[in-house]
């Protein structure tokens, strides 16, 4: 309660105090899940194959008691460092297995035959869509009331309504993932579940002043790409619920203000000053859920340098692209640049500003519905800034801007096309230019999906991975333009993506968080954890593409039998002719 008050009254200013103090305040002072010696010793002893496991474990006793018992052990241990066996014993007697904060829940609004199924011509795709519709049931979670009444026993942040989680190791909500999940739920005609997820995020805004990266206290110090207002728009397009908008529009504004107050930067172009937004988490210490990895990465750095690197890793995680060459300082390559080169707070990203541009656009139109007029001026300023800072006439596309180099990053990233999707441009030739940009690079030659970049860094947001949200943004942006070639490319990209996802679903009976564009198509690879199955946004994006092109998409190349039949028919016709 105390720290929420600090946020509300503005007393807590990021950047005041040591990184540890700020982290500790910001994270609600959790000396078990966010910072402190217990966290450090357990994570560095690598008790579990994934560091996230430990910070997801609920407590068996109060945090004060657990910390006291740990301190007693430390006091009687030479140099205060417990052995792996001692730590194992301590953790198993003081913590419970992850996942016990949830109770069984089946969505009440789930139905077996939503109307979208009837829009899909290909029988195999239709059956697959039916399977994906059923997956919402296995990805649904309801948080136990005990988390509300005894929050200090959990790292899970309580929210009042059930959620659909991504899946695999991600057993809590994630902010930007929820956008594609909600779009998918709406196509499955599960508007009540979708509304509940939006209510949860509004609850978090009311409580913390922003939406944390995910539903854990160790994610509190950072957000993720801002999609709350877009989620409200998606919901309103399916449900005539102006009352819900009226009751909550002030919270949409609070969330928008979080980005304006804490994540904005001024850039001068010519004699004009422009204000744009960036990802910037000035809080040190390793990420609790990847503690040992962050610790090892910084092992040869001095104290200041490692705190700075850890803050940059958090800024990159806030972007949702954790991690990527996009945040490396040493571009344009020569690679190998590594994760250590991450300097995300130096990048002013095209996509973040495109999302906020959409937010301003939507807030302006929401207020108009409610009979008020703010936000139009903010939208106009954003349009001007996006054109002045990001649009690159030579490349014919928008490019991220690097504050340290005072230059655009010339590399290909699907995010370069985000303004097309969010209508954040005034020049109607933009779509044609985007087509030429795509056709002028090699990215359309990848038949399993649009790659995340053209650099093989081993990080998950780079080649060879392709991610569902990025496919959707580019496809939807091209599809809505008036250019016929842009529409054709959009369809081809959708067809490639759906075929890849479908082929791997047949092979593994699973949907993955990301896919590998190499060869015949594989689950994604690289990064700091194994590719995960589930998967919330993947299912949402496939349902959206099937909604858009269900009458044209096909499940695979023509079967061998069909091809043999065509050859036989041709031979027969030739024979007749002769």
Q: Which of residues 534-573 bind ligand LLGJG24Q (CB under 6 A)?
A: none
Residue 202 or 313: the one with the smaller Cβ distance to ligand LLGJG24Q is 313
Residue 360 or 528: the one with the smaller Cβ distance to ligand LLGJG24Q is 528
Pick one of 178, 188, 229, 290: the residue that binds ligand LLGJG24Q (CB under 6 A): 290
Count CB neighbours of 113 within 10 A: 10
Query: By CB under 6 A, which span of 16-24, 202-210, 285-293, 472-480 interacts with ligand LLGJG24Q?
Result: 285-293
Q: Which of residues 224-253 bind ligand LLGJG24Q (CB under 6 A)?
A: none
**Where are the extended beta strands (E) located within 118-192?**
140-143, 163-164
**The one catalytic residue among 294, 462, 513, 528:** 513
Pick one of 114, 212, 215, 320: the residue that binds ligand LLGJG24Q (CB under 6 A): 320
Q: Where are the alpha helices (DSSP H) in 188-323?
A: 191-208, 228-238, 242-262, 291-297, 303-318
Q: Where are the alpha helices (DSSP H) in 402-532?
A: 418-421, 430-439, 468-479, 484-508
Beta strands across the sheet bearing 140-143: 102-103, 140-143, 163-164
Annotated active-site residue 109? The verdict is no
Could you give the maximum distance between any two Cα atoms of the chain, in Å? 98
> What is the C-alpha to C-alpha distance for residues 235 and 252, in angstroms, rounded to an integer?
14
Give the C-alpha distances (Å, rounded to integers) separating 573 from 200, 381, 559.
64, 65, 21
Query: Which stretch of DSSP H or E encloses residue 187?
Result: helix 175-187
Residue 264 or 292: the one with the smaller Cβ distance to ligand LLGJG24Q is 292
Residue 133 or 290: the one with the smaller Cβ distance to ligand LLGJG24Q is 290
Residue 287 or 326: the one with the smaller Cβ distance to ligand LLGJG24Q is 287
Residue 54 or 170: the one with the smaller Cβ distance to ligand LLGJG24Q is 170
Q: Determine, following the binding rule CB under 6 A, whether residue 287 of this chain makes contact with ligand LLGJG24Q.
A: yes
Give the C-alpha distances (Å, rounded to integers) separating 456 from 298, 452, 465.
22, 10, 9
Query: By CB under 6 A, which span of 92-100, 125-133, 316-324, 483-491 interacts with ligand LLGJG24Q?
Result: 316-324
DSSP, residue by residue, 359-370: HHHHHHHHHHHT
Q: How far is the CB of 529 from ligand LLGJG24Q (least distance, A)?
A: 6
Answer for the pair 523, 531: CB distance below 8 angstroms, yes or no: yes
Q: How far is the CB of 214 from ligand LLGJG24Q (least distance, A)?
A: 6
Beta-strand pair 163-164/140-143: antiparallel
Q: Determine, following the binding rule CB under 6 A, whether residue 317 of this chain makes contact with ligand LLGJG24Q.
A: yes
The position carrying tokens 């027969």 is: 572
Tokens of 134: 């059923």
Q: How far is the CB of 471 from ligand LLGJG24Q (least distance, A)?
A: 14
> What is the C-alpha to C-alpha distance for residues 180 and 194, in angstroms, rounded to an integer?
11
Cis peptide before 464 (omega within 30 of 0): yes
Q: How far is CA 418 from the centre of its chain?
A: 14
Query: By CB under 6 A, which span of 71-79, 283-291, 412-420, 477-485 interacts with ligand LLGJG24Q?
Result: 283-291
- 164 strand-pairing partners: 140
**The one catalytic residue among 177, 322, 400, 462:** 322
Residue 290 or 448: the one with the smaller Cβ distance to ligand LLGJG24Q is 290
Q: Which of residues 504-523 bind ligand LLGJG24Q (CB under 6 A)?
A: 513
Q: Determine, following the binding rule CB under 6 A, whether residue 457 of this chain makes contact with ligand LLGJG24Q.
A: no
Q: How far is the CB of 502 from ligand LLGJG24Q (least distance, A)?
A: 21
Q: Binding marks (x or -) toward ligand LLGJG24Q, 14..53, rule CB under 6 A? A: --------------------------------------x-
Q: How far is the CB of 455 from ligand LLGJG24Q (least distance, A)?
A: 17
> What is the C-alpha to C-alpha distance for residues 470 and 468, in angstroms, rounded to an integer?
5
Answer for the pair 364, 375: CB distance below 8 angstroms, yes or no: yes
> What is the C-alpha to C-alpha distance for residues 301 and 307, in angstroms, rounded to an integer?
9
Annotated active-site residue 513? The verdict is yes
Q: Which of 125, 78, 14 is nearest to 497 (CA)?
A: 125
Q: Determine, following the binding rule CB under 6 A, whether residue 289 of this chain makes contact with ligand LLGJG24Q.
A: yes
Residue 319 or 387: the one with the smaller Cβ distance to ligand LLGJG24Q is 319
Q: Which of residues 165-194 bind ligand LLGJG24Q (CB under 6 A)?
A: 166, 170, 174, 176-177
Residue 289 or 312: the one with the smaller Cβ distance to ligand LLGJG24Q is 289
Q: Determine, following the binding rule CB under 6 A, whether residue 285 of this chain makes contact with ligand LLGJG24Q.
A: no
What's the start-to-end Cα distance of the chain, in Å? 88
Please tell me the number of Cα atoms within 13 Å of 222 on its side-chain side. 30
Answer for the pair 311, 284: CB distance below 8 angstroms, yes or no: yes
Q: How far is the CB of 152 from ligand LLGJG24Q (least distance, A)?
A: 23
Binding site for ligand LLGJG24Q (CB under 6 A): 52, 166, 170, 174, 176-177, 213-214, 287, 289-290, 317, 320, 322, 513, 528-529
Which residues are tagged catalytic?
322, 513
């Amino acid at each position: 309660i105390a720290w929420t008050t600090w946020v509300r009254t503005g007393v807590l200013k990021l950047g005041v105090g040591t990184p540890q103090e700020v982290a500790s305040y910001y994270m609600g002072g959790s000396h078990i899940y966010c910072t402190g010696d217990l966290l450090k010793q357990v994570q560095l002893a690598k008790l579990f194959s994934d560091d996230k496991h430990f910070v997801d474990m609920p407590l068996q006793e109060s945090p004060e008691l657990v910390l006291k018992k740990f301190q007693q052990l430390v006091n009687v241990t030479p140099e205060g460092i417990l052995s792996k066996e001692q730590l194992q014993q301590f953790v198993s007697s003081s913590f419970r297995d992850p996942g016990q904060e949830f109770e069984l829940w089946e969505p009440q609004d789930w139905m077996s035959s939503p109307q979208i199924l009837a829009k899909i011509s290909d029988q195999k795709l239709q059956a697959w869509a039916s399977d994906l519709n059923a997956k919402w049931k296995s990805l649904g979670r309801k948080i136990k009331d005990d988390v509300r009444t005894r929050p200090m026993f959990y790292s899970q942040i309580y929210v009042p309504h059930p959620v659909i989680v991504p899946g695999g190791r991600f057993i809590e909500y994630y902010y930007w993932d929820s956008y594609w999940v909600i779009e998918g739920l709406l196509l499955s005609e599960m508007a009540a579940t979708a509304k509940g997820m939006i209510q949860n995020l509004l609850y978090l805004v009311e409580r913390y002043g922003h939406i944390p990266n995910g539903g854990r206290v160790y994610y509190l110090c950072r957000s993720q790409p801002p999609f709350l207002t877009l989620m409200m728009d998606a919901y309103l397009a399916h449900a005539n619920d102006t009352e819900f908008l009226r009751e909550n529009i002030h919270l949409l504004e609070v969330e928008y203000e979080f980005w304006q107050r804490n994540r904005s930067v001024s850039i001068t172009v010519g004699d004009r000053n422009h204000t744009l937004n960036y990802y910037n988490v000035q809080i040190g210490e390793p990420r609790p859920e990847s503690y040992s990895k962050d610790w090892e990465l910084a092992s040869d750095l001095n104290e200041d340098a490692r705190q700075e690197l850890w803050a940059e890793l958090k800024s990159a995680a806030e972007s949702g692209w954790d991690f990527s060459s996009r945040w490396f300082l040493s571009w344009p390559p020569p690679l190998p640049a590594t994760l250590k080169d991450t300097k995300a707070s130096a990048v002013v990203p095209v996509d973040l500003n495109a999302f906020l541009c959409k937010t301003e656009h939507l807030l302006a139109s929401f207020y108009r519905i409610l009979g008020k007029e703010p936000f139009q001026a903010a939208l106009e300023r954003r349009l001007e800034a996006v054109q002045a800072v990001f649009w690159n006439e030579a490349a014919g596309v928008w490019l991220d801007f690097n504050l340290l180099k005072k230059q655009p990053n010339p590399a290909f990233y699907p995010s370069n096309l985000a303004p097309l999707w969010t209508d954040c441009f005034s020049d109607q030739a933009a779509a044609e230019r985007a087509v030429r940009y795509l056709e002028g690079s090699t990215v359309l030659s990848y038949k399993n999906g649009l790659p995340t970049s053209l650099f093989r860094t081993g990080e998950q947001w780079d080649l060879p991975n392709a991610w569902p949200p990025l496919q959707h943004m580019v496809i939807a942006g091209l599809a809505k333009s008036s250019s016929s070639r842009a529409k054709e490319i959009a369809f081809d990209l959708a067809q490639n993506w759906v075929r890849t996802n479908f082929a791997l679903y047949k092979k593994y009976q699973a949907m993955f968080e990301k896919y590998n564009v190499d060869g015949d198509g594989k689950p994604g690879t690289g990064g700091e954890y194994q590719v995960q199955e589930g998967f919330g946004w993947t299912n949402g994006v496939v349902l959206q593409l099937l909604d858009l092109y269900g009458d044209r998409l096909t499940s695979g190349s023509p079967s061998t039998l069909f091809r043999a039949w065509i050859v036989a028919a041709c031979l027969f016709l030739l024979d007749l002719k002769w």
